[in-house]
Structure 1
Amino acid sequence: MTLVTTAYERGITTLTLDSPENRNALSARLVAELAEQLARCGADRSVRAVVLAHTGSTFSAGADLKAPPSPYAFVALLRQLLELPKPVLARVTGKVRAGGLGLLGACDLVAASADAEFALTEVRIGVAPSMISLTLLPRLDPRAAARYCLTGEPFDAAEAARIGLVTAVPAGPKEDVDTVLAPMLEGLRRASPQGLAEAKRLVAARVLETFERDAEDLVQRSASLFASAEAREGMTAFLERRDAAWVL
């Protein structure tokens, strides 16, 4: 069974993360399937843009602690999203945690429902948002990035829009996220493929600079943190649904 389903309508391919039983956690398999589908979209001239969506109540819970991708595979996926010659939009209607926020940072546009919820929870399991800082820090308000990276506290869609993580949120809590997504998609359908590719290169350039400068160091730093005793305790506590030993 595939973990990433596809649908196509009027130039827009929707790639849906479809592993709700583990909250669309970023397993090695899901990352590989998503990378494969993105490559197909990039090569398909009929595809004007890609929407990244999800089933279930969670867009992505972050790394799958039981079957994680290699750090290099995950960084390659983030870079692939940024370098794809077609815009990538995220459609979020639930919770997003940890590495899932890295995916949003790699997308060009993000539409989120008013009740969506976000959190950078890495510090609570003894690690840091190392690799996803590549896509997040160039986009986020610096003070907000410091707060949420350090505390791991959740924040809502309005705050996500204020700090630069989310592009648009419906005005009312009962409005569907498609009310803000639809105008963006219509605008992309009216744009030329060449124009979109070159415009995306411009807006993604600042984020991609961080990959050239910092990716290798952050991969190594992340691997070291995940191999530490503190991280082992944090991940065990998470899987056992208890507080880690350091919680006061």
Structure 2
Amino acid sequence: MRDTGVCVLQDLNGELPSASISAVLGPSGAGKTFFCCALADRLSHNAAVSGSVLLNDRFPVRAMRRVLGFCPQDDVMHVMLTVYENLIFSARMRLRQRRRNDHLRLVERAIRLLDLECVRHSRIGSDARRGISGGQRKRVNVGMELVIDPAILFLDEPTSGLDSATARQVLDGVRRAARGGPQQRGITVVSVLHQPPFELVQKFSVVVLMARGGRIAYLGPCEGL
């Protein structure tokens, strides 16, 4: 960091396969979220970065931000709107150059992949007004990025505060999106997780294990842990 001189990440090198779902793990203070933000080109101007992040070994990530989705840890949505209204709002605001039919198609795809049909017309809600559950809110948060049709989706602690069963539901939806389907390309997913049970880690194809000091201790298949 420029103001403190603290080195958050160092000596990082690796490759994440296309259409894979990767978990970024490690102790508190290891730089997991910072690492995810560096990959997504979302670091503050106070961060000094050397090296490069390339897509398909060719394109600098900074030139390809329009194909990146990023879900912050805190859910960001309009609490008085329904699930469908939040998704269509995100699609229309962020894909203004696309046709209305494309917006509708991408919203319906997100609802299907994330199993949100049963709450399609339910309001998000707040502490003052009851709405959908915490797990459903997380899935809507992910859906608001899926509707921009990203090639890469970054998730910052998508299971934080959820019980194991609800966390599995969220990750199952993410896995379906990563796999793609007929006439639909898969998505590369990179997710930061904080102290997950191993049963959740096993849902990921690749694990990035970070150590204190911002170094990568392991990068490879989950089976190699």
Please say whether Structure 1 and Structure 2 have the same fold, judged by a TM-score greater than 0.5: no
By percentage of residues, which structure has more helix? 1
TM value normalised by structure 1: 0.28
By relative contact order (CA 8 Å, sep 6+), the higher-ranking structure is 2
TM value normalised by structure 2: 0.30
